[in-house]
Amino acid sequence: FITLINTYRIYSWLIIFQHFIHERIDAEPFFVRLIIESFFSIRSVHNLRPGCLPFKHDPVKKHELYMKEWAKHPIPGENKRLSLRWAIREFMLHQSFPAVTPADLARKREPNCEWIPQRYL
């Protein structure tokens, strides 16, 4: 019974904190906003088992939060590597390949005497 009261206090504190902070979320710096938005990914548990917390973390909401932050702050140097990849791709596409004619294929070649296939077994 005592743990149920303590968990109810934590849960009610989180709800009060969410309502209080919801108005000021845009005025806060980035790291404070990230901490505050992570509280919104907490959802309540309706069928509470004894000894368990009355809330769970919503993985979908947490993933949406991370996706939003990843879009705002990409990996350093990611755009540079992307432009480098495209430059290499374009360079390779513009290279001319040697043309092989049927006369080249029909030409008789001398065998290489230094290389002789060996029987290994």
pLDDT tens for each residue of 37-46: 555 556 566 6
Residue at 103 is within a domain:
no
Domain of 49, in residue numbers: 2-72
Residue at 113 is within a domain:
no
The whole-number pLDDT of residue 1 equals: 42
Cα angle: 107, vertex 108, 114; to 5 degrees: 130
Asked whether 14 and 42 are in contact (CB, 8 A), the reply is yes
Asked whether 37 and 65 are in contact (CB, 8 A), the reply is yes
Residue at 100 is within a domain:
no
36, pLDDT greater than 70: no
Q: How many domains does the chain fold into?
A: 1
pLDDT tens for each residue of 38-76: 555 565 666 666 666 666 667 788 888 888 888 888 777
Residue at 16 is within a domain:
yes
Tell me the mean pLDDT in the region 109-114.
Answer: 78
Residue at 34 is within a domain:
yes
3-state secondary structure 50-90: CCCCCEEECHHHHHHHHHHHHHHCCCCCHHHHHHHHHHHHH
Residue at 67 is within a domain:
yes
